[in-house]
Amino acid sequence: MVTDKQGTILVVDDENGIRQSFKMVLKDNYHVLLAETGKEAIEALTQNTVDLILLDILLPDVNGLDLLQKLKAIDPHPEVIMVTAVKDVQTAVRAIKLGAYEYIIKPFIVDEVINIIKRALEKRSLIKELAYLRNELERYHPSEEIIGQDERMMKIFEIISTIAGSDSAILIQGESGTGKELFARAIHKLSPRQHQPFVVLACAAIPPTLMESTLFGYHKGAFTGAVRTTLGKLEIANKGTVFLDDIDTLDISMQAKLLRAIQEKEFERIGSTKVIKVDIRFIASSNKDLRELIGSGRFREDLFYRLNVFPIHLPPLRGRRKDIPLLLDHFLGLNAKRSGKPLKKFSSEAAEALAAYDWPGNVRELQNLVERSFTISKGPEIQLSDISTFSIAKAKIKGVTLKEAVDDFEQQYIQEVLDSVDGNRKKASEILGIHRNTLLSKINIFPEKP
Ligand SMILES: Nc1ncnc2c1ncn2[C@@H]1O[C@H](COP(=O)(O)OP(=O)(O)OP(=O)(O)O)[C@@H](O)[C@H]1O
Ligand SMILES: [Mg+2]
């Protein structure tokens, strides 16, 4: 079929209003499929080739995270963007760990949604081009430049440039969003293996039942469904680097199998006795303290010592505040370049709040904030009010948890919308894109009888 559409998007949401508004926004450029329940979503994905899924976290018949995993098991190819209410942002963050690409918050901003969808699909077409890694889910990195002038970061740059050349394993530890994957890629790029594959094993995103076949591959007929011989990540990565991302989530029996493959530099595909020899550099990451996990029996000490030949600890952003303005400028520049819009800057009030904020989500949180505020702000200066949409107005007050900040923002936003319609709850719930009863429960009033 000849078509000028840029892909097929499956919208899964139980609220008809939301489904229809997505359809309206997307139908000119994409084929749009709609599903109201988890069951319908599974059917739609089984029967169609889908490029991207917009998935509501809160569905009546199934938990959003469970559904995400089911959909990934049926077809791991479509990018998934979670659609969430402000209240469920923490769940959305977990969804990203499970392989979702991004999340958007209802009520959503059309430009922002379109931007995210474009990027997700761009990532997909990039993947298609990487023919030599056909089985591979490479992550799309818009910029590989590492920013940082803090002394500890400088020290880390120095260390990686000396150890990149060796074949020794490296363990990168640091909180979520501190740049573990970015550094792993940088090490690979600096190494003699730079023209060989860099393969990511996203331990947290791969269901335990699929881990062994993902790592080692399988022989045709090894189990029901093994219709053709498939290479595992280790085989694909031969001569290159394997990034064992979130290694702490790997289950203990797989830890033993992985350790054996690392030590012996060989393994067998499932269902085959042929020994496959490989030459791989391993870089692992963890945002948990592996020594603690060893203490509680959840991580093998021998695997730890195998991987921890060169340990790197990436400091959280709040511990290197002088990098905050540099990162803000860096991402402002990237957004301007990517969108083709003129460069913007933060007002002094906004910059001050951002400099004082604690950034629990580290550089990733900062990057997302810049992107969102760049998109919604009008004019050349991003104001504090543009940022406060993302709860940072409270930044000056330290010690506020993300959840408290998010809850606060929700209340504040609902109030603003209510004020704008003179307290008319029906109109407010329409603007907010939520059911009136949801609105009432959010402002602590019991749902009215219809
Ligand atoms: N020093 C830095 N300079 C520029 N960009 C950075 C820096 N650190 C992180 N980033 C960017 O921030 C985002 C998050 O980084 P990355 O994915 O490497 O974090 P991570 O530590 O692997 O997080 P997680 O534990 O959640 O997987 C990426 O887009 C990355 O490019
Ligand atoms: Mg990571």
**Of ligand 1's atoms, which has the minimum distance to the CA of residue 153?**
1
Ligand 2 centroid to residue 322 C-alpha, Å: 23
Residues 94 and 197 in one domain: no
For position 376, which CATH number holds? 1.10.8.60
Ion ligand 2 neighbours, Cβ < 5 Å: 181
Host domain of residue 79: 8-129
Distances (CA, A) of 309 to 93, 163, 170, 250: 31, 10, 6, 19
Handedness of CA 176, 9, 231, 226 (dihedral sign): positive
**Span 307-332, average pLDDT:** 96
CA distance 417 to 411: 10
Under 8 Å between Cβ of 416 and 410: no
Residue nearest to atom 8 of ligand 1 (CA): 179
Q: Which of 271, 287, 315 is the last residue of a domain?
A: 315
Q: Up-side HSE of residue 272: CA atoms within 13 Å toward CB?
A: 20
> Lowest-pLDDT range, 184-193, 322-331, 371-380?
371-380
The values of phi and psi at residue 31, to 5°, are -75, 135
Question: 397 exposed, middle or buried (CB, 10 Å; 0-12, 13-18, 19+)?
Answer: exposed
Q: Is 143 among the domain residues?
A: no
For position 76, which CATH number holds? 3.40.50.2300
Strand partners, 251: none
Q: Is 408 among the domain residues?
A: yes
Residues 161 and 293 in one domain: yes
Q: Which of 315, 331, 363 is the last residue of a domain?
A: 315
Please count the structural domains in the chain. 3
Identify which of 164, 197, 180 has the alpha carbon closest to the alpha carbon of residue 278.
197
Sequence-distant (≥ 6) Cβ neighbours of residue 147 within 8 angstroms: 323, 326, 327, 330
Ligand 2 centroid to residue 389 C-alpha, Å: 26
Residues 67 and 31 in one domain: yes
Q: Is 449 among the domain residues?
A: no
The two tokens of residue 171 are: 């363990």
pLDDT tens for residues 56-108? Answer: 998 888 988 999 999 988 888 899 999 988 777 788 888 888 889 888 888 88
pLDDT tier at 166, thresholds 50, 70, 90: very high
Which residue is listed with tokens 């007929």?
221
Residues 37 and 100 in one domain: yes
Residues 160 and 237 in one domain: yes
Pairing of strands 266-268, 345-346: unpaired
Residues 205 and 307 in one domain: yes
Residues 162 and 181 in one domain: yes
CA distance 288 to 95: 18
| 0.85 surpassed by pTM | no
For position 251, which CATH number holds? 3.40.50.300
Q: Is 140 among the domain residues?
A: no
Q: Is 119 among the domain residues?
A: yes
Ligand 1 centroid to residue 151 C-alpha, Å: 18
Q: What is the structure's pLDDT at 278?
A: 95
Ligand 2 centroid to residue 271 C-alpha, Å: 32
The two tokens of residue 19 are: 């489904």
Q: Is 82 among the domain residues?
A: yes
Identify which of 425, 431, 424, 421 has the alpha carbon closest to the alpha carbon of residue 447.
425
**Span 207-221, average pLDDT:** 91
Identify which of 426, 410, 408 has the alpha carbon closest to the alpha carbon of residue 86.
410
Helix (H, G, I), strand (E, B) or coil at 357: coil
**Of ligand 1's atoms, which has the minimum distance to the CA of residue 323?**
1
Q: Which helix (H) or strand (E) holds 363?
A: helix 362-376
Under 8 Å between Cβ of 358 and 318: yes
Which residue is listed with tokens 């991580």?
299
Q: Which of 315, 342, 360 is the last residue of a domain?
A: 315
The values of phi and psi at residue 102, to 5°, are -160, 175
Residues 252 and 330 in one domain: no
3-state secondary structure 402-433: HHHHHHHHHHHHHHHHHHHCCCCHHHHHHHHC
The values of phi and psi at residue 82, to 5°, are -80, 140
Which residue is listed with tokens 């892909």?
7
Q: Is 245 among the domain residues?
A: yes
Q: Is 349 among the domain residues?
A: yes
Residues 334 and 309 in one domain: no
Q: What is the structure's pLDDT at 3?
A: 54
Under 8 Å between Cβ of 410 and 388: no
From 140, 326, 364, 370, the mutation candidate for ligand 1 (largest count of ligand atoms within 8 A of CB) is 364
Tally of CB atoms within 10 A around 33 = 19
Residues 62 and 106 in one domain: yes
CA distance 147 to 356: 19
Residues 310 and 325 in one domain: no
Identify which of 83, 72, 68 has the alpha carbon closest to the alpha carbon of residue 113.
83
Ligand 2 centroid to residue 47 C-alpha, Å: 32
Q: What is the structure's pLDDT at 38?
A: 94
Residues 278 and 295 in one domain: yes
Q: What is the structure's pLDDT at 145?
A: 85
pLDDT tens for residues 118-164? Answer: 888 877 765 554 434 433 333 434 457 899 999 999 999 999 989 99
- Give ligand 1 pocket residues (Cβ under 6 A): 141, 146-148, 174, 176-182, 287, 363-364, 367
Residue type for 7, please?
Answer: G
Q: What is the structure's pLDDT at 393?
A: 43
